[in-house]
Amino acid sequence: MAYTEEELKKELETKEYEYGFYTDIESDTFPKGLNADIVRAISKKKNEPEWMTEWRLEAFRIWEEMEEPEWANVRYEKPDFQAISYYSAPKKADPNKSLDDVDPELLEMYKKLGISVDEQKRLQNVAVDIVVDSVSVATTFKKTLAEKGIIFMPISEAIQEHPELVKKYMGTVVPKTDNFYAALNSAVFTDGSFCYIPKGVKCPMELSTYFRINEGGTGQFERTLVIADESSYVSYLEGCTAPSRDENQLHAAVVELIALDDAEIKYSTVQNWFPGNKEGEGGVYNFVTKRGICEKNAKISWTQVETGSAVTWKYPSCILKGNNSVGEFYSIAVTNNFQQADTGTKMVHLGKNTKSTIISKGISAGQSQNSYRGLVQVNSRAENARNFSQCDSLLMGNRCGAHTFPYIEAKNKSAQIEHEATTSKIGEDQIFYCNQRGIDTEKAIALIVNGFSKEVLNKLPMEFAVEAQKLLEISLEGSVG
């Protein structure tokens, strides 16, 4: 049967969260609530040096003085920060164990998620650092990387083993004072990834981290720090899936990228946190601060595929400090049912001849709200800065919304800034055309959405692009078959 607009909408709404299961692993969980003692306890639990504890406490004091921001185009019940437990580690995890020693239940969980470490190791040239709740469970390919002098480890280990690097760079791109969630993260982050690429080294493999939230009622606060020293290159992949939960879960990560002279960082994310059920209950709040700084001739490229979370607040940004530096942002944001996303980027042009490109694709279905918010800022000394922005929205049905908030501040007359925007709708005619060629409605929607998102999907590393395509289909189709 052919689909009317009405049926199409219904079909889109019947999508259920595919990864909704809960693995029972005994957890070592802190009591709920946040105060200076909890911050100290987290630091102690991680055996951190004094300077780190002080850093956290300062962040906590800053956070206490701050207000939760309200300018984003999202509506949600504010989390009660005293009702969250700030530390949870799977009890059976031991970073010294080999993969074979890992809790079979954990491995089973990865299998369900389709991210089995074994498979990753065998099939792809990918080093995987897995974060379950807050503690890293397994790190692979460490040796190969070590030979090149590349450091890739949980940030908690880096604090112990490479304090000089962590001290020098942490908080330099996203300061503790940056915003409410960044301050919170600085105070309570439990783990995350650390990566350092030495001068002139091209990282021979994609570095990858899969994050997930597992313990009910716990927030997750990862901290990621990637440093690409002069003339080095690294491609970093981050993927997320989370099991279905009733209560809202808070996720407030901070990612800092530092690209020194002539270095290049490519950072790709596939985000699939639990989006809530189709009545709009539950789901992850994703309030993330991601920012990179480019020194001379450096390049940072952000690519993100956002399909999950009940509320998304996320603006991976580039500070183009050095002359001739380049910033890129490629994004696909999908919202369905009652999801809300306010996402985009900031490109801050400080150096001369700096260039930035923004390609944003928003797809809204159900009763969701999808906003692009982007800032292109050209400093008075940034001669010949160039920006190209393209924001496309695809709507399904009549009850969802797509919004574009482009901010442009140019203080130098030589700046060239272009902004293009389109809004389109999946039409019954397109669906019927596909149907007539033997392609059912579900497959037709996948085809049209993939076509719409192609420019961004093409920017992802191959194996990630396949996963991302799968996620787009899961996010937008009925659960038929």
Q: Could you tell me if 372 and 340 are in contact, meaning their C-beta atoms sit under 8 angstroms apart?
A: no
- The residue among 310 and 444 lying less far from another protein, judged by its C-beta, is 444
Tell me the closest approach of the beta carbon of residue 443 to another protein, in angstroms: 6
Q: Name the residue nearer to another protein (CB basis): 94 or 440.
A: 440
Is 399:369 a contact under the CB 8 Å cutoff? no
Least distance to another protein, CB of residue 305, Å: 15
178 vs 442 by CB, closer to another protein: 442
User: Smallest distance from the beta carbon of 345 to another protein, in angstroms?
Assistant: 22
Q: Does 248 bind another protein (CB under 8 A)?
A: no
User: What string of DSSP letters covers 422-455?
Assistant: EEEE--HHHHHHHHHTT--HHHHHHHHHHHHHHH
Minimum CB separation of residue 465 from another protein in Å reads 14
CB of 427 to another protein, least distance (A): 7
Site for another protein in 438-457 (CB under 8 A): 438-441, 443, 447-448, 450-455
DSSP state at residue 318: E
> In 3-state terms, what secondary structure has residue 125?
coil
Determine phi and psi for 83, rounding to 5 degrees. -105, 15
For residue 123, the minimal CB distance to another protein (Å) is 20
Is position 390 an interface residue for another protein (rule: CB under 8 A)?
no
418 binds another protein per the rule CB under 8 A:
no
Between 89 and 448, CB nearer to another protein: 448
Question: Which pair of structure tokens corresponds to residue 352?
Answer: 């001369």
The contact mask relative to another protein for 295-334 (x = CB under 8 A, - = no) is ----------------------------------------
Residue 82 sits in the site that holds another protein (CB under 8 A): no
**Shortest approach of another protein to residue 241 CB, angstroms?**
26
Residue 460, helix vs strand vs coil: coil
Residue of the chain from 76, 81, 405, 432 that contacts another protein (CB under 8 A): 432
**Whole-number Å distance between alpha carbons of 450 and 334:** 12
- Helix crossing, 36-45 with 180-188: angle to 10°? 50
Whole-number Å distance between alpha carbons of 360 and 333: 8
H or E segment at 65?
helix 50-65
Contact between 94 and 138 (Cβ < 8 Å): no
Quick one: 293 or 476, whose CB is closer to another protein?
A: 476
39/456 with CB nearer another protein: 456
CB of 354 to another protein, least distance (A): 29
Return the structure tokens found at 384.
């010949």
Which residue in this structure is represented by tokens 């690209």?
259
| 462 belongs to the binding site for another protein (CB under 8 A) | no
100 near another protein, rule: CB under 8 A? no
Binding of residue 430 to another protein (CB under 8 A) = yes
| Number of residues counted as binding another protein (CB under 8 A) | 27
Smallest gap from Cβ 411 to another protein, in A, equals: 36
* 148 vs 443 by CB, closer to another protein: 443
466 binds another protein (CB under 8 A): no
Alpha-carbon separation of residue 190 from 65, 133, 138, 254, 413 (angstroms): 22, 9, 16, 12, 45
Task: Give the nearer residue to another protein in terms of CB position, either 152 or 452.
Answer: 452
Q: Which is nearer to another protein, 4 or 172 (CB)?
A: 4
Stretch that binds another protein, among 122-130, 341-349, 405-413, 434-442 (CB under 8 A): 434-442
Considering only residues 42-61, where is the footprint of another protein by CB under 8 A?
Answer: none
Find the binder of another protein among 53, 116, 357, 435 (CB under 8 A): 435
The two three-digit tokens of residue 120, written as one number: 């990753």
CB of 398 to another protein, least distance (A): 17
Q: 84 and 217 in contact (C-beta within 8 Å)? A: yes
Cα end-to-end distance, the chain, whole Å: 17
Work out whether 481 is an interface residue with another protein (CB under 8 A).
no
427 binds another protein (CB under 8 A): yes
Pick the stretch among 2-10, 128-136, 225-233, 408-416 that binds another protein (CB under 8 A).
2-10
Closer by beta carbon to another protein, 278 or else 425: 425
Q: Is 95 in the site for another protein (CB under 8 A)?
A: no
User: Which CB atom, from 11 or from 256, has the smaller least distance to another protein?
Assistant: 11
Q: What residues line the site for another protein (CB under 8 A)?
A: 1-4, 427-430, 432-441, 443, 447-448, 450-455
